Amino acid sequence: MTLCSNGFDAEQTVANGNKFLIGNGKFGYRGTLDEMGREHCVGLNIAGLYDGVRGKWRETVNAFNPLYLKLFAGDVPLNAWSDRVVAHSQTLDISCGVFSRKTLFRIDGGTLQLRSERFCSMANTSVLASRLELVADVDVTVDIVAGIDVDVWELNGPHFASVTLRDEGDALFAEGITQEKGVSVKVSCAFSRQPVFEDGFARFRVCLKAGQTYTLDRIANILIGDEQPICNSTYDAEYRQNAESWRRLWDKSDVILAGSGVDEAQFALRYSIYQLLTLAPKRDCSIAARGLSGQTYKGAVFWDTEMFLLPFYLKTDPISAKRLVEYRIRTLDGALDKAKSYGYKGAFFAWESQDGYDACSDFNVTDVFTHRPVRTYFKDKQIHISADVALGILRYYDQTQDAPLMLNGGLTTLLQIAEFYYSYSYYDHVGGRFELLDVIGPDEYHERVNNNAYTNYMVYHCVKRTLELFGSFGESYPSATKEILSRFEPNICAALADWVGKLYLPKCNEQGVMEQFDGYFDLEDVTVSEVRKRLVHPREYWGGTTGVATPTRVIKQADVVMLAVTLPQYFTAEQIAANYEFYLPYTEHGSSLSASAYALAACRVGRPDDAWKWFLQTARIDLDGGGKQWAGDVYIGGTHPAANGGAWMVATQGFGKMCKPDFLREVKTFF
């Protein structure tokens, strides 16, 4: 289970940083090379640690790089982009999360090979370990300069108000204090050989004999706040513990595709699972939209977590699944404050959550022509986020029957979400129904629409299930349930039951197609390719008030199709097929979330060839370097955890349920 790349291509540095990423749920280390620095987007990204610099977007913090290295043969620097390179390769062993590289250099009279490997320990999650090996075919003197690079790559920094660097014994130590909250981030690096410290670096002079192998190990600790380091550890011991931890993870999560010609798909699926395993939170935090690949999207938590990631952890890692649900319960106060700031009751969850704070800007896109920020309404109008959160809690309870969690915040969160929608809705006196107006659905190209089908159905379903749960918990835990209800207005459940019974739910037309939102069918009927021809600039934003897609039926991603695969009980099989066929030509797939939704729909309507195509697209997105890298002038590159989760969902919930003996004949999962 190894990903390989041969040769060095400087233009692939950023893409390889994503593709060869290692991580352990606490931090991620980009797949860059030992000799690279901030200009190469080296990143050691810490999960759930945020900092804001005045006037800039708040984002997760990249820590100091403890594995920085320079190599010299005589006075000649040896690095991957020098003309001394004879051969270069790098690999990622996804069975144990180990990244390695081999570079062969031409030196005077012969060659010198550099081999290095590293891993973020799954056993001791503060540890980042590395081994360096040098071997030459001639006698040569090599100088190694290793250290902690405090020149951090950042999108919206600098995030450290102060930085101190010192050496002691056989180790280097760096500490930074974050600007906003004064959180300490300590990075240490201990060496297996005694260095000479000079100018903040550890220096080693190696008189290498022909055929002799020189080994240098580095054990780094990444510590947040008051965390304590792992002491007296060796590389070999850490390697064994890490490998055993990964073995246990794969035993619980591997999915086997049985059939001829599935090797490529098998690896892509396992690579997706690998990415999900590296993201399982080890602290009280959730998972960012770009995982641990950097600071894109401000390191914030989106609806991706509930809709595309939680299903995997519910089946394979209940502890992580609980952490994800508890994150939303813990950040309820932020959702209450957000709703109140807009004049509503209940819980309006953050579109871009940083510990409950909504980091979403009012100006998320920059116009590529004027370079001025464009007002967007993601933060204000994507109210479906609260229903997505509610569905996550409901799914967690259905899977685990964790009554204590529900009594200690789960039920309260669900009822606060229901109250938000009750408060937000508009009563149409003519139609005698409640409506949800001025919203954005999953399709972000069309802002401020009325009665988005996905939103209305999700709200209806989650509120109905919430009321059912209060009924059952009232019978099983009467006193606790009564205490929860005492925090709300009297008869809140009866009021919500009356309201949700009158909530408008769009219906499919005679052709079986559900209108995405009021007036969608009246928009210009053009295909994606036709709209693409209207672009003046390749990075032009398609949505907003002036986007090329706004007046047309062209949509960013699965919307009604997303609804159909999320809540299929509200559709017939024929209706799912009709919506799949209708919306497919209009879907630009400008989001990495889209392909898996279409794959699931294709599975449900018995279209295995389509499902296979969409599955490979979502499973291979990081292997192929797919997905948009820019939204206007804003960089949005990085890994795609939601696509990884979507690939797993397609394999287990799509292919695994297809009655097609000539297709994937076996999907084995450790359920």
The pLDDT of 496-523, averaged and rounded, is: 98
Task: Tell me the sheet residues that pair with 453.
Answer: none
Is residue 637 scored above 90 in pLDDT?
Answer: no
Axis-axis angle for helices 263-279, 641-649 (nearest 10): 130
> Percent of the chain having pLDDT more than 70?
96
pLDDT band at residue 545 using 50, 70 and 90 as cut-offs: confident
Q: Is the pTM of this model over 0.85?
A: yes
pLDDT band at residue 630 using 50, 70 and 90 as cut-offs: low
Residue 242 lies in a domain: no
pLDDT band at residue 367 using 50, 70 and 90 as cut-offs: confident
From 623, 622, 628, 625, select the one nearest 641 (Cα to Cα).
Answer: 622
pLDDT digits (tens, 9 = 90+) for 292-324: 999 999 999 999 999 999 999 999 999 999 999
Chain-centre distance for alpha carbon 465: 28
Same domain, 381 and 427: yes
Same domain, 563 and 620: yes
Burial class of 538 by CB neighbour count within 10 A (0 to 12, 13 to 18, 19+) = exposed
String of DSSP letters for 212-276? -EEEEEEEEEEEETT-----S--HHHHHHHHHHHHHHHHHHH-EEEESTT-HHHHHHHHHHHHHH
Q: What pLDDT, on a 0 to 100 scale, did the predictor assign at position 206? A: 96
Provide the 10 A C-beta neighbour count for residue 371: 9
Same domain, 163 and 267: no
Q: What pLDDT, on a 0 to 100 scale, did the predictor assign at position 519? A: 98
- Residue 124 dihedral angles phi and psi, to the nearest 5°: -120, 95
pLDDT digits (tens, 9 = 90+) for 30-82: 999 999 999 999 999 999 999 999 989 999 999 999 999 999 998 899 999 99
Is residue 662 scored above 60 in pLDDT?
Answer: no
Is residue 670 scored above 50 in pLDDT?
Answer: no
pLDDT digits (tens, 9 = 90+) for 390-440: 999 999 999 999 999 999 999 999 999 999 999 999 999 999 999 999 999
Q: Which of 232, 247, 275 is the last residue of a domain?
A: 232
Domain range holding 127? 2-232
Give, in order, the Cα–Cα distances in Å from 408 to each of 356, 385, 386, 632: 18, 22, 19, 43
CATH number at residue 88: 2.70.98.40
3-state SS of 599-612 is HHHHHHCCCHHHHH
pLDDT band at residue 661 using 50, 70 and 90 as cut-offs: very low
Q: Which of 232, 266, 283 is the last residue of a domain?
A: 232
Same domain, 324 and 203: no
Give, in order, the Cα–Cα distances in Å from 2 to each of 90, 95, 267, 609: 10, 8, 9, 27
From 285, 391, 297, 385, select the one nearest 330 (Cα to Cα).
Answer: 285
The pLDDT of 253-273, averaged and rounded, is: 93
DSSP state for residue 363 in the 8-state scheme: -
Residue 270 lies in a domain: yes
Is residue 663 scored above 60 in pLDDT?
Answer: no
Residue 263 lies in a domain: yes
Q: Which of 164, 197, 232 is the last residue of a domain?
A: 232
Same domain, 189 and 283: no
Is residue 502 scored above 80 in pLDDT?
Answer: yes
CATH number at residue 505: 1.50.10.10
> Percent of the chain having pLDDT more than 90?
90
Q: What pLDDT, on a 0 to 100 scale, did the predictor assign at position 102? A: 98
From 649, 654, 639, select the one nearest 289 (Cα to Cα).
Answer: 639
Provide the number of structural domains found in the chain. Answer: 2
Residue 379 lies in a domain: yes
| Least confident residue range of 11-15, 406-410, 420-424, 659-663 | 659-663
Residue 141 lies in a domain: yes
Residue 240 lies in a domain: no
Q: Tell me whether residue 435 is one of the annotated catalytic residues.
A: no
State which amino acid sits at residue 245. S
Is residue 660 scored above 50 in pLDDT?
Answer: no
The pLDDT of 230-246, averaged and rounded, is: 91
CA–CA dist 577, 585 (Å, integer): 14
Same domain, 512 and 657: yes
From 378, 304, 376, 371, select the one nearest 539 (Cα to Cα).
Answer: 371
Same domain, 396 and 344: yes
Residue 344 lies in a domain: yes
User: Residue 245 in contact with residue 657, Cβ under 8 Å?
Assistant: no
Q: What pLDDT, on a 0 to 100 scale, did the predictor assign at position 229? A: 82
Q: What pLDDT, on a 0 to 100 scale, did the predictor assign at position 235? A: 96
3-state SS of 402-432 is CHHHHHHHHHHHHHHHHHHHHHHCEEECCCC
Tell me the HSE value of 354 on the side-chain side, using a 13 A CA sphere: 21
Same domain, 183 and 294: no
Q: Which of 352, 444, 447, 540 is catalytic?
A: 444
DSSP alpha helices (H): ranges in 20-128? none
Scan for tokens 């047309």, then name that residue: 552
Q: What is the mean pLDDT of the chain?
A: 94
Same domain, 176 and 262: no
DSSP alpha helices (H): ranges in 519-559? 528-532
Cβ partners under 8 Å of residue 216, min gap 6:
131, 132, 133, 144, 146, 191, 192, 193, 204
Residue 247 lies in a domain: no
pLDDT band at residue 259 using 50, 70 and 90 as cut-offs: confident
Which contacts of 99-108 are long-range, i.e. CB under 8 A and separated by 24 or more positions?
99/20, 99/22, 99/29, 99/31, 101/33, 101/34, 103/8, 103/78, 105/73, 105/78, 107/73, 107/74, 107/76, 107/78, 107/136, 107/138, 107/140, 108/73, 108/74, 108/138, 108/140
Cβ partners under 8 Å of residue 373, min gap 6:
363, 365, 366, 367
Q: What pLDDT, on a 0 to 100 scale, did the predictor assign at position 671? A: 26
Q: What pLDDT, on a 0 to 100 scale, did the predictor assign at position 22? A: 98
Is residue 664 scored above 80 in pLDDT?
Answer: no
Same domain, 218 and 270: no
Tokens of 379: 């933060």
Q: What pLDDT, on a 0 to 100 scale, did the predictor assign at position 657? A: 74
Same domain, 38 and 89: yes
Is residue 358 scored above 90 in pLDDT?
Answer: yes
Same domain, 222 and 265: no
CA–CA dist 352, 335 (Å, integer): 11
The pLDDT of 523-529, averaged and rounded, is: 97
pLDDT digits (tens, 9 = 90+) for 125-176: 999 999 999 999 999 999 999 999 999 999 999 999 999 999 998 899 999 9
